[in-house]
Structure 1
Amino acid sequence: MSGARGQAAAGAVADVSGGPDVVIIGGGAAGLSLAHRLLGTGTAAVTVVEPPDGPTRPAERTWCYWDDGDGDGDDDGDDGLGAAVTADWSLLRVHSRDGTALTVDPAPATYRMVRSSAFERLVHARLERDPGGRLLRATAQTVRDVPGGAEVRCTAPDGRALTLRARYVFDSRPPPALPPARTQLLQHFRGWFVRTGRARFDPAVADLMDFRVPQPRHGLAFGYVLPLAPDRALVEYTEFSRSPLTTEAYEAALGHYVRDVLKLGAFDVESAEQGVIPMTDGRFPRRTGRSVFRIGTAGGATRPATGYTFAAVQRHSRAVATALREGRGTVPPPHGRRALAMDAVLLRALDTGRVDGPAFFTGLFRRTPAHRLLRFLDGATSLREEWGIGLRTPVGPMLRTALEVPFLPRRTHPLPGTGESHR
């Protein structure tokens, strides 16, 4: 595929010859991560189709993930994801509902924050300088298989029709509807970037789950604090529950958490983020044509029981690059069947109230080595490790739920507002 920059001419068709060329629809975490991986490994020429500036482009977002090395597990130097990392934390803290604090060291892992604007600059720069890279500002309309690959029809900002053809298309756009599921909760949140009048935060410690907030009837709620400096932090209120809140309700919950729980004193809110992510055991279709694949949340990358997405996206991008290099016509799923089965059980147990969410997660951090637990939350543990972790959970309620889940019908649930997970 041509590495030419700028908009293609009206009705132009990209050449599909010369290798496993790729069109990626969407410039969020999944689309940009895959482009970064394919170009960085020399796997394919890539065109990323992103909507033009305006209401269809998402607002600034924050992504966090665990990392054992230099940012994305590769020796990429300045081109690794580490170049887009805004902050990281070597210690994690969990607060139980009674206020007991547990601080753990997840070494060799660290918890890292990437801001979407920094990540976009990193990948856009690679697209600009790489002869096989291209960024196209357009709105993708339809995708279909054609002989030798797939075709994407787009609309340019000035209304012109554009047609792209490639060997493979990877589509990260939100699905029009969620797949039928036995259980569906939502991870919904609002966060403030705050600046305090005095030093209030320890920049080395991230508060991963703070359960000193009122709990919903179904699911759980927690505070989340990522310090950026002694007087600056992202402070978030998050729920795993059936329905999102109004902005006013999030603001009230955040105000209570910041003033009455954290007791920050005087502070200013510099900016805010808000989102909704489905936590579902529905089966997301990973392939919508012979040469068309879904990636990101649309392809099932979000871990159903935790909402963790960014690390899974990195693993999946590596798997896609390997599959293309090896000439395989398919790619593996973002999560294994065992991880998805465990998540289906935990989702159901949380939704029914058979397990107490705050006690469940607090107990996991108290009884499981931190690095092993983080690997478990990302779906990277062995069967033996998962068995050991399972014995540290409420065995009776979890076993009852595991026996029930296979017989539950899958039902259609409403599609929530879109969002991207911090995790």
Structure 2
Amino acid sequence: MPRSEVVIVGAGAAGLSLAYRLCGPADGAPVRVVLVDAPPGPLRPPPRTWCFWEPPGGEYDDVLSASWQRLRVRGRDGTETVTRPAPLRYKMLRSDAFESLVERRLAACPGFRRVTATVTEVGDAPDGGRVVARGERGDRVVLHARYVFDSRPPRRLPAARTTLLQHFTGWFVETERPVFDPATADLMDFRTPQPAHGLSFGYVLPLGPRTALVEYTEFSRAVLDTAGYARALRHYTGPVLGIGAHRVTSVERGVIPMTDGRFPGRAGRSVFRVGTAGGATRPSTGYTFAAVQRQSSAIAAQVRGGGRFRLPPPYGAWPRAMDAVMLRALDTGRVDGADFFAGLFRAVPGTRLLRFLDGTTHRYEDVLVGLRTPVAPMLRTLLELPFVARRETPAAAGWGARPSGAAACPEQERSAP
């Protein structure tokens, strides 16, 4: 096969977003892109939901499932905090709608080619990067490109001082009577039984008066079994929400790593990791989708511009340091997770807090948010972090299914964040 400018490994949110940017309208000749997608089977992710916030008029607005101007957080005692984070809206995007939109652009891109194959090797070559794969008929496929971007989740999580898992199961439900407010999304509802270690919350995205995505989410060190999520959701939809008789139309599951481990963006001279594999998941929230869009746009601009390539980091050193403190404080029990997040939403203006969770605030805004947290335990944690050793942590099975967020829409890549 002829040499391409870019080979993208994996057709999840990160891989498709990068292909979409490289094949989008721009000055100059189209970039020659090959997207390597796994054949149907366990290597392909199931349909999933991504959530993020941005002003109205975004490029995916025409294919959104829903969006909300009002966000609500409920404390353990039921106290409500409702915010209207204008000009931001909380947006819900289903992966099948996103993939259809991307496919339409890629079909019209003269420099684009899609290969269905199982990748067995990714590495450098004398003139760039090389991908070796096995085709659907067992044939050997070798691809060469100036750059290779690998979006597959790594087999192991990086060594870290703190590693928690954000794991969840969500039900799409239809109720017999109208019980949901379509104008308001429940971002975090802490009226769930809190685990001995970590925190849990409910999450409700109404699609109409009688339909919604209802999730149970935990931040903890270990996932539950299927029966455990079912019990939690029955309790949340029953005694807590009181939605009455309902039908579950589909189910989503996911596990997102929340870790201060360093995901290396470079895997060779011409090989780079993107998406969750490249650190695009915000460690303190689990949001991923918005960071993937920012990173994909920056990569496409550099590839088109020529010159020396430098992979743009999804988050700067300052946000990563804040995330490390928060994770450690939560893991040690120095802060109560439910009270911590409920308190932030009460004390910080909604627009600023959402931008903070997305890693796009200015330094002075970060300080203002930090002053609304429990200062003493956070300061103690900050001072001890340099003396805490980083340890290897096995990757949890299926954690790449969602990268979603502290306020969760599970890159499932809840990506929102």
Question: What's the TM-score once normalised by structure 1's chain length?
Answer: 0.92
Given that 1:275 and 1:417 are in contact with CA atoms closer than 8 Å, whether structure 2 keeps it comes out as no
- 1:128 paired with 2:112, answer no
Please state how far the C-alpha of 1:57 moved relative to its aligned partner: 1.4
Deviations, residues 338-382 of structure 1 (Å, cap 9, x unaligned): 000000000000001101111111111111110000000000011
Partner Cα distance (2:237, 2:248) in 1:
11
Please state how far the C-alpha of 1:15 moved relative to its aligned partner: 2.4
Give the aligned partner of residue 44 of structure 2: 57
Amino acid at match of 1:387: V
Partner Cα distance (1:318, 1:201) in 2:
36
Deviations, residues 96-155 of structure 1 (Å, cap 9, x unaligned): 000011110010000111111111111122111111122221111111211221111111
Please state how far the C-alpha of 1:83 moved relative to its aligned partner: 3.1
2:212 to 198, 216, 233: 233
Unmatched tracts of structure 2, length 5 or more: 404-413
- 1:178 paired with 2:157, answer yes
Partner Cα distance (1:125, 1:149) in 2:
29
Please show how residues 147-186 of structure 1 align to structure 2 within 5 Å: 147-186=126-165
1:70 to 41, 49, 57: 57
Amino acid at match of 1:34: L
- SS of alignment partner, residue 392 of structure 2: coil
Amino acid at match of 1:404: E
Given that 1:128 and 1:135 are in contact with CA atoms closer than 8 Å, whether structure 2 keeps it comes out as no
Partner Cα distance (1:226, 1:156) in 2:
40
Please show how residues 27-42 of structure 1 align to structure 2 within 5 Å: 27-42=11-26
Amino acid at match of 1:224: Y
Amino acid at match of 1:231: R
Q: How many residues align?
A: 399
Please state how far the C-alpha of 1:383 moved relative to its aligned partner: 0.7
Deviations, residues 282-332 of structure 1 (Å, cap 9, x unaligned): 011100011100001110000001101111111111121222233232212
1:44 to 22, 25, 31: 31
Partner Cα distance (2:197, 2:318) in 1:
25
- SS of alignment partner, residue 391 of structure 2: coil
Which has the larger displacement, 390-399 or 152-161? 152-161
Amino acid at match of 1:155: R
Give the aligned partner of residue 402 of structure 2: 420
- 1:248 paired with 2:227, answer yes
Give the aligned partner of residue 3 of structure 2: 15
Give the aligned partner of residue 409 of structure 2: none
Given that 1:127 and 1:135 are in contact with CA atoms closer than 8 Å, whether structure 2 keeps it comes out as no
Please state how far the C-alpha of 1:41 moved relative to its aligned partner: 4.2
- 1:372 paired with 2:360, answer no
1:213 to 180, 188, 192: 192
Identity of aligned residues (%): 59
Amino acid at match of 1:52: P
Amino acid at match of 1:270: T
Q: Which has the higher contact order (CA 8 A, sep 6+)?
A: 2
Runs of 4 or more, structure 1, over 4 Å off, are none
Distance 1:140-1:83 versus aligned 2 partners, 3 A rule: farther
- SS of alignment partner, residue 251 of structure 1: helix
Partner Cα distance (1:224, 1:258) in 2:
11
Unmatched tracts of structure 1, length 5 or more: 1-12, 72-79
Give the aligned partner of residue 356 of structure 1: 336
1:189 to 161, 168, 171: 168
Partner Cα distance (1:259, 1:413) in 2:
36
Partner Cα distance (1:305, 1:216) in 2:
18
Please state how far the C-alpha of 1:14 moved relative to its aligned partner: 2.6
Amino acid at match of 1:334: P
Give the aligned partner of residue 9 of structure 1: none
Partner Cα distance (2:33, 2:239) in 1:
50
Amino acid at match of 2:310: T
